[in-house]
Amino acid sequence: MSLQIRAGKKADVPLIAELIRGLARYERLEPEVTMTEEKLERALFGERPYAETLIAEDGEAAVGFALFFHNFSTFLAQPGIYLEDLFVLPERRGSGIGRALLERLAQVAVERGCGRLEWAVLDWNESAIRFYERLGARPNSDWTIYRLAGEPLDALAGK
């Protein structure tokens, strides 16, 4: 395996979109994907990029990706990185690709002076939970994530 981790680029948008769809299939959330390549390109490479990606390649073949963005901790007075998506092709899991992506993301966090790297994991994804805990990650079970989306978000915004 000649694994390389590199930053995603504009030409990768179709690949990133396909990996996102693969993640959605794995997480049983495919009906929730409304992403288009045009929206993804604007969000990642437009006038104001909102997120970044890392692509894992084995030779010429993409085998996984990580999508992340910065957040901020007022208590630390430091930026952090939030890992929105981590996905490795099912047939390539267990070969160190996920770890390599997280290692590179941890390096990015340290290089940028971030105080933490965090993410969410589905409760039923026991293999991912075991993987993260082997890396030293711990659940932050004192907090519950809340979300406003769609009509409730529009209503709160007065739309």
The answer to whether 132 is a known catalytic residue is yes
Contact status, residue 66 vs residue 51, Cβ threshold 8 Å: no
In the chain the first and final C-alpha atoms are separated, in Å, by 51
User: How much is the CA Rg of the chain, to the nearest whole Å?
Assistant: 16
The catalytic position among 26, 50, 82, 132 is 132
Q: Which residues contact 4 (CB under 8 A, 6 or more apart)?
A: 56, 57, 58
Give yes or no for residue 88 having a pLDDT over 90. Answer: yes
Strand order in the sheet with 78-88: 3-7, 52-58, 61-73, 78-88, 117-119
| Average pLDDT rounded to a whole number, residues 4-16 | 98
Give yes or no for residue 1 having a pLDDT over 80. Answer: no
Farthest CA pair distance, the chain: 53
Q: What pLDDT sits at residue 141?
A: 86
Which token pair is 55? Answer: 């692509």
72: CATH: 3.40.630.30
* Tens-digit pLDDT profile for residues 16-74: 999 999 999 999 999 999 999 999 999 999 999 999 999 999 998 999 999 999 999 99
Nearest to 108, CA basis, from 70, 138, 62: 70
Nearest to 118, CA basis, from 72, 87, 75: 72
Nearest to 52, CA basis, from 5, 91, 88: 5
Q: What pLDDT sits at residue 60?
A: 87
Calpha distance 116→153 (Å, rounded) = 28
* Tens-digit pLDDT profile for residues 108-132: 999 999 999 999 999 999 999 999 9
Q: What pLDDT sits at residue 31?
A: 94
How many structural domains are present in the chain?
1
Instruction: Show the domain range for 14.
Output: 3-156
